[in-house]
Structure 1
Amino acid sequence: MQSRTAEKQSLFKIMKQPTKEFRVLSTVTDYTRFYGLPAPAHPLLTLIDLAACRNLPRVMTPVVQQLYTVSLKRNLKGQLFYGHQSYDFSEGVMVFLGPGQVFAVSETLDTSEISGWMLVFHPDLLLKYPLGKKIASYGFFSYELHEALHLSAREESLLDDILHGIQSEYEQPIDTFSQDVLVSQLEVLLNYANRFYHRQFLTRRTAEHDLLTRFEALLTTYFAEEGEQPLPTVQHFADELRVSPAYLSDMLRSLTGQTTQQHLHHGLIEKAKRLLLTTSLSINETAFQLGFEYPQYFTRLFKNKTGVTPAAFRFSAQ
C-alpha cells in the first residue's frame, strides 16, 4: 500500500504541472470558459449535457474550483485525478465535489462515449436560503471519488426526472422566482442523494463491512500499543483505510450508530481505565501516556464519558 507521500509524488509526476500552473475557477463563467462550454444561462448555475462534450479538446491543466459540482457520469474511459489519487470511472457513478478541491484529468482520458449530466453552481446561489447552511451537513461533498454513489436503475431514473425539472427551469427566462425554484429543486436532488448514499452503506455490505472490520482491527492495534502515543485522530484512521474522514464517519454511523470520533473516544476511555487500574501512573502521567498535552482535557473527557473523574474511578475500584 502506497503512503500518502508516495501517492502525492506519483500524482505530481503524472500531472507534470508546477503548482503555479494550477488554475483557480472562481465563478460559473470561469468554469464554462475554461472547458470550452456554452455560456451559463444563469450567473450562479449551469447545467451541462456530458454527451455534448464528447468532442471537446481535453484540458490538462489541473484546477482548484471554488464551486460545487454534482455529476452523473456514464461510459467515461480513463482516469481522473482528485486530491492525491487517481480513479477509473468506466462505470456510471454519481460524484460530488465541493469548493477548494483539486481536479485534473489524465492524458489518456477517453470521453468519446461519455454521457450523463453535470450541475455546476456557486455557493452564492444558496446564501439567502436554509440550504446554504444545510449543505455543510452533506458529507458526500467531502468524499473521495472512489466513494462515489452507485445508483440502481430506479434511483438513476428518479434523479434524471429531478434533473429534467431543474433543466426546464434553467432554460426559462430569469425572473424573481427563478432562484427560489432552482434552489428548492436542487435541495430535493441532494436529499435523494443523501438517502441513496445511506442505502449504499447498507446494501454494499461486503465492501462496507470489510472496511468496518479493518477499522476495528486498526483501533485494537492502536490502543494495544504500550508507551506514550499521540492522540488518535479521525484523519489518521481515514488515511490508513484510504477513505475520506467524512465517508468513514458516515459509514460507521450507518453500521454502528457511532461516528469515528465516538469510536476513538471509547477506545481512549477503555485504555485509560486499564492504565488507571493496572499501573501506578499518576493521573497526569496517564494523560500524557494517552497523548493528552494537558491533563485537564483528559479529566474533562473521562468525566464526560463515565460520569466520574479518573481519580474517583481509581478510588472506587480499590
Structure 2
Amino acid sequence: MSDQLKLTGFKVYKTNSKSGGYSYSRKDFYKINITTGRFLFNYAERSIETEDTFLFFGNPRIPYSCEPRSEEHYGYTCLFTEDFMNLNERSESLLQSPLFKIGGTPIFGLNETQKKKLTGLFEEMIKEQETEYAFKDELIRNYMSLIIHEALKMQPSESNIRHNNAAARITSVFLELLERQFPIESTDQPLTLRTAQDYAGYLSVHINYLNSAVKEITGKATSTLISDRIIAEAKALLQHTDWNITEIAYALGFEYPTYFNNFFKKKTGSVPKAVRSSHL
C-alpha cells in the first residue's frame, strides 16, 4: 500500500488506537489528520498538549514527535505529496500558509460543530478515493482545500503550549531537519538547504538565535554541523555510486564542480577524485 501511495500521491484512511496506524515515510508526505484523544506533540521549541478532538497539519520537512496520552483515540488521516497538491498557484499558496510553517501552530482544537463538518469532509474523501470517477483527484483536492480554509479561519490551540528548554528543542529540530535532507537519492533533486541561513529561514527563526542555540547545546557551530554532514554524504556518493563528480557536486547543491572540489579539499585535505580512486 505504501508503493500505491507513492503512485497516486494521496491516501485517506481511518485511524484508531487498535489499528496501529499506516506505514509510510514521513519524509515524503504532508499530513492532515483529525483525531479524538489526548496527545503530547513536541514541535520546535514547544510542547503542545491536546484534549478531545483536534486538527493537525504536518509538513514532511519539519520534524515533530507525537505521544498518545490516552488509551483510546480515533479519527481520520490524509497523506499527500506536494506534487499532488501543487497543480496551480492557489493550492501552492495553501501549502505555504502558516498551517505548514514551523513558526505557526499546526494544531487546532475543535468544537462539536467543527468536528462534525470536518469529519464529513474526510468521509467524503474516503468514499471518492474508492470510485472510478475520472476527476476524483480534483474533487479530493477540493475537499482538502476546504479543510485547510476552515483551519485558516480558526484560532490555533495556543492555550496548552509549554515552552520547554527552547535552545534544546530548536537544536533538536535543526539536527533532525538536517538529517532528513539525506541520503541524496537522485541527481534530479539537489540539496536545497546548504547554509545556516537556509535552515534559519526555513525554521522561521533568526540566524543568530539558531547559531546561539546550536552552539550552546552541541558545542559546534551550525555551519560546521552542516558542512560535516555534506562531507559525509559526499564521501558516500563517491564510494558507493557511479555518479560522476559533476553530478555529485550538483546533487549536493554546488553550482559548479570547482566549488565542490574546493569545499571538499578544504574540509578533508583531499580532492573528490582521490577519494573515488582509492575505492575503485
Q: Whose relative contact order is higher, 1 or 2, with alpha carbons under 8 Å and at least 6 apart?
A: 2
More helix by share: 1
Q: When the two structures are superposed, what TM-score results if normalisation uses the length of structure 2?
A: 0.48
